[in-house]
């Protein structure tokens, strides 16, 4: 009995092409997915780290002055700053309306960035001094505990305390 084989052209075997096409398609999908992930991750970059802000406080009971130094950290916008002063846990009847150039309850204009004529940005290394007037209550005397709270847009950024010289 004679056996016949189907007619085939040499070199046209389709069985080896299917895996090659599958690999090429899989590589293409992988590259496209990696591109989407890379673009998406690039948009999720974290915010730059903020430097902690530090301040130093000094009070002179003989002069009735309070000095605050921006010791380190990010600059502070003075027009967004509020300062609350207390002497022996008793808040001043007139708080400093920073920035200002003469206000009820304070002698002279403040020095440094609390002065309305100064730059509106308080940077590290700058000091500001306010002079509490005798008409303010309570006044600062030697031995008194002076506390100052600093807030920017209603958020407290520092709470300081010292004893007046």
**What would the pLDDT profile of 88-116 be if each residue is shown by its tens digit?**
999 999 999 999 998 999 998 999 999 99
In a shared domain, residues 103 and 142:
yes
The answer to whether residue 113 sits within a structural domain is yes
Domain count, the chain: 2
In a shared domain, residues 102 and 128:
yes
In a shared domain, residues 76 and 40:
no
Distance CA 126, CA 123 (A): 6
Contact present, 152 and 81 (Cβ < 8 Å): yes
Q: Cβ of 130: how many Cβ atoms within 10 Å?
A: 29
In a shared domain, residues 119 and 38:
no
Tokens of 162: 């010292």
Domain that holds residue 38: 15-45
**What would the pLDDT profile of 70-94 be if each residue is shown by its tens digit?**
999 999 999 999 999 999 999 999 9
Domain boundary among 7, 27, 45: 45
């Amino acid at each position: 009995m004679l056996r016949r084989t189907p007619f085939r052209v040499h070199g046209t075997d389709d069985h080896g092409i299917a895996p090659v096409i599958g690999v090429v398609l899989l590589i293409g999908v992988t590259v496209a997915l990696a591109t989407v992930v890379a673009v998406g991750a690039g948009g999720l970059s974290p915010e730059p780290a903020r430097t902690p802000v530090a301040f130093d406080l000094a009070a002179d009971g003989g002069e009735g002055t309070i000095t605050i130094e921006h010791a380190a950290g990010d600059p502070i916008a003075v027009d967004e700053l509020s300062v609350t002063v207390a002497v022996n846990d008793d808040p001043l009847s007139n708080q400093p309306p920073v920035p200002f150039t003469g206000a009820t309850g304070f002698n002279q204009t403040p020095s440094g960035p609390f002065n309305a004529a100064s730059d509106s940005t308080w940077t590290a290394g700058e000091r500001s001094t306010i002079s509490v007037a005798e008409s303010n209550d309570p006044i600062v005397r030697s031995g008194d505990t002076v506390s100052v709270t600093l807030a920017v847009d209603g958020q407290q950024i520092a709470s300081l305390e010292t004893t007046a010289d």
